[in-house]
Amino acid sequence: MANKVKCALIGSGNIGTDLIYKIQRSEFLEPVWMVGIDPESEGLARARDMGLKTTAEGVDGLLPHVKADGIQIAFDATSAYVHAENSRKLNELGVFMVDLTPAAIGPLCVPPVNLNELENTMNVNMISCAGQATIPIVHGVSRVQSVEYAEIIASLASKSIGPGTRANLDEFTYTTSNAVCKVGGARRGKALCIINPADPPMIMRNTIYCLTDDEPDQEAITKSLMDMIEQVQRYVPGYKLVNGPVFEGNKVGVFMEVAGLGDYLPTYAGNLDIMTAAACRTAEMYAEKILKGEFVLEGAA
Amino acid sequence: MSNEVVRDVIVHDMCLRDGMHAKKEQISTEQMRTVAAALDKAGVPIIQVSHGAGLGGNSLQHGFAPHANEEYWDAVAPVLTRAKMSVLLIPGLGTMNELRSAYEHGVRAVHVATHCTEADTSPQHIACARELGMDTAGFLMMAHLNTTAGLVEEAKKMESYGAQTVYITDSAGYMIPENVVEIITALRNELKPETEIGFHGHNNLGMGTANSIEAVRAGATRIDASVAGLGAGAGNTPLEGFVAVCERVGIRTGCDLFALMDMAEDIVFPMMDHIVRVDRSSLTLGFAGVYSTFLLHANRLGEKYGLAPRDILMELGRKKMIGGQEDMIEDTALTMLKERQATSAGV
């Protein structure tokens, strides 16, 4: 395909850098700009080496180039605190925003659950790595029978967690818990996150517990979960069921592992991949619509 | 009453927080009131009160207590005449909104806890506690999994965020006195003079009291302990035993030893579902360096899947699982079971 939608990446940390690899492989997306705040940062240097234009002036450094370079989609991998402002400035110029922070000002998206139901909006939120890894499972149970409560526990390798996530743990918790209900379909939800420094680093692990209202239909739930896992594996091949589902009374327990592709960080950082792969898949869906003229981006001007 | 109490060390009781783990989170508000009143009367200056995992602890992962933390604080606050209440906050589980609620319900001190290498997940929460005006401690858990130099670095981070005390937390009861002396001495040399140092021990190797005494001698001024040792694993440092040794060696705690001995015998021991002690499983925790709270989970899952709890705990130690990863106990048991079935099938 000759035409691709041009993209800017905001935030030159782990997530932004990994996104470059994912977007470069895309049929519909092309990475053009990388935005940072530190001229000395390794992330910006790496982006330049990979052929991107860079600015260390934050989003304001990108704004003058948006029209000239035809930027139509931006990915924000900074922090919940600055996202709203970044989004406002870029939306004004008609740039569609994919939010990888826990700010969650736009609709929440987990591709295999609700990508096809998302409307034409100017901002879509990817929740959190833990949300991307666990909500498909919660939905896999709740589409079979009603779930009164779902709880997810994400264990992440210390080396895969950058300063942004570390400074946003409360937001991570609230946004993920909320999404377990809104997207996962549980009536109440809770998210727990553990950062483990073991060396060699542990692969991202996720445990999902669902409490069903009635006795769980073991056969139907197991089948639904296997289908859902296959859906996720299409864009994250290292998404794997380790143990379960374990049924105990009305409790369903599922023990997952997420190995990454090893694009930027090694394969243990599945949390990075599932987030960037989900963001990329979401952006591709909008890019296809943009290219076909089904979704017209409008700036405020 | 007499003059102000003179203390060389502030003893901080853990019965009503760490002790929740030993009771599978099932302590009633009435029991809380009884224990808290006795601790207050015996002159224990700070009492931790909450779910075993602290703020946000009520969960399938950590068990559901019969009451919300707020109900426990409201039950305990009226019986305290001089002791203050504290709480545990582990970022990633508990949040600042819950900390604000704790303050509104009378909690005036907090342990902000991270794994011993992850202090940089705590700056928001430490700053929030200071803004509320709480007595704020940073709490470095599973401290045996970091080097002394590494612990100094993490402690300095917590100090820089505003922690007034930094705790070395031997969550696995793995340390022996020479480890404690080395670490506390290094912290005393490197932290600001006004920053207090604390030690939180577990008795899995029977070292709780000895470790705590050595910590004080090396410069610690805050010691966590619990009456009758009611706490995870083989329990916390038994508070009454620690106070007795302090009296012998001339460390002033301001606590009434006989009152503590009486409450251990008359109130806390009768509350126990199992005698909290060094036994095969809890000793394994200390030997393998495993989080003390894993004890009862491993015992239960060992029974469910026909595995020896010791084998499960040793495997968790080998995999370097840390506090908060209780879900990995069942996962590990299931994987061990699969491996054994494969072996016995002759694969």
Q: Which helix (H) or strand (E) holds A139?
A: helix A129-142
Of the candidates A190, A196, A242, which has its C-beta nearest B59's C-beta?
A: A190
What's the pLDDT score for residue B1?
A: 46
What's the pLDDT score for residue A71?
A: 97
Query: In chain A, which residues have their Cβ closer than 8 Å to the Cβ of B331?
Result: 205, 207, 242-243, 255
Q: Which of A138, A196, A204, A242 to mutate to test the interface with B (most CBs of B within 10 A)?
A: A196
| pLDDT at residue A1 is higher than 60 | no
Residue A3, annotated ligand binder? no
What's the pLDDT score for residue A2?
A: 57
Average pLDDT, chain B: 96
Distance CA B239, CA B208 (A): 10
Q: Do A207 and B327 touch (CB under 8 A)?
A: yes
What's the pLDDT score for residue A16?
A: 94
What mean pLDDT comes out for the span A47-68? 96
Peptide linkage before A200 cis (omega within 30 of 0): yes
Least confident piece of the model among A109-123, A173-187, B209-223: A109-123
Grade residue A256 by pLDDT with cuts at 50, 70 and 90. very high
A183 contacts: CB under 8 Å, gap ≥ 6 = A108, A109, A110, A113, A114, A127, A131, A135, A139
What's the pLDDT score for residue B346?
A: 65
What's the pLDDT score for residue A282?
A: 95
B97 close contact with A: CB closer than 8 A:
yes
Average pLDDT, chain A: 94
Instruction: List, for residues A234-248, the tens digit of each pLDDT value.
Output: 999 999 999 999 999
Instruction: List, for residues B141-171, the tens digit of each pLDDT value.
Output: 999 999 999 999 999 999 999 999 999 999 9
What mean pLDDT comes out for the span B47-74? 98
Whole-model pTM?
0.94
Strand partners, A210: A150, A252
Cα separation values, B79 from A8, A197, B38, B72, B268, Å: 60, 42, 9, 12, 17
Grade residue A120 by pLDDT with cuts at 50, 70 and 90. confident
Residue A14, annotated ligand binder? yes
What mean pLDDT comes out for the span B220-224? 98
What mean pLDDT comes out for the span A31-60? 95
What mean pLDDT comes out for the span A274-289? 94
Contacts A–B by Cβ distance under 8 A? 96
What mean pLDDT comes out for the span B3-15? 91
Of the candidates A174, A190, A253, which has its C-beta nearest B330's C-beta?
A: A253
Least Cα distance to B217 among B171, B158, B177 occurs for: B177
What's the pLDDT score for residue A229?
A: 98
Query: In chain B, which residues have their Cβ closer than 8 Å to the Cβ of A163?
Result: 120
Instruction: Determine the distance in angstroms separating the CA of B41 from the nearest CA of chain A, rounded to an integer.
Output: 37
Q: Report the length, in residues, of chain B.
A: 347
What's the pLDDT score for residue B3?
A: 56
Q: Which helix (H) or strand (E) holds A254?
A: strand A251-258
Instruction: List, for residues B167-216, the tens digit of each pLDDT value.
Output: 999 999 999 999 999 999 999 999 999 999 999 999 999 999 999 999 99
Is B115 assigned a catalytic role?
no
**A147-157 and A204-212 as β-strands: parallel, antiparallel, unpaired?**
antiparallel
% of chain B beyond a pLDDT of 70: 99
Q: Return the higher-pLDDT residue of A116 and B217.
A: B217
Residues of chain A contacting B, Cβ within 8 Å = 149, 151, 153, 155, 158, 163, 166-167, 169-170, 172-174, 190, 192-198, 202, 205, 207, 209, 211, 242-244, 246, 251, 253, 255
Instruction: List, for residues A197-250, the tens digit of each pLDDT value.
Output: 999 999 999 999 999 999 999 999 999 999 999 999 999 999 999 999 999 999
Q: Which of A194, A211, A240, A246 to mutate to test the interface with B (most CBs of B within 10 A)?
A: A194
| pLDDT at residue B347 is higher than 70 | no
Q: Give me the sign of the Cα torsion angle A194, A199, A204, A209.
A: negative
Give the torsion through C-alpha atoms of A28, A290, A79, B55, to 10 deg: -100
Distance CA B53, CA B169 (A): 14
B90 contacts: CB under 8 Å, gap ≥ 6 = B53, B54, B55, B56, B113, B114, B323, B324
CB atoms within 10 A of CB B130: 16
- Chain A residue with Cα closest to B119: A166
| pLDDT at residue B91 is higher than 90 | yes
Q: Do A158 and B59 touch (CB under 8 A)?
A: no
B101 close contact with A: CB closer than 8 A:
no
Q: Do B331 and A163 touch (CB under 8 A)?
A: no
% of chain A beyond a pLDDT of 70: 99
What's the pLDDT score for residue A147?
A: 98
Grade residue B55 by pLDDT with cuts at 50, 70 and 90. very high
Do the interacting molecules here have an ipTM over 0.90?
yes
Residue A10, annotated ligand binder? no
Cα separation values, B213 from B42, B142, B223, B238, Å: 20, 19, 9, 12
Instruction: Determine the distance in angstroms separating the CA of A285 from the nearest CA of chain B, rounded to an integer.
Output: 32
B160 close contact with A: CB closer than 8 A:
no
What mean pLDDT comes out for the span A68-94? 94
Domains defined along chain A, listed by start: 5-126+276-292 (3.40.50.720), 129-266 (3.30.360.10)
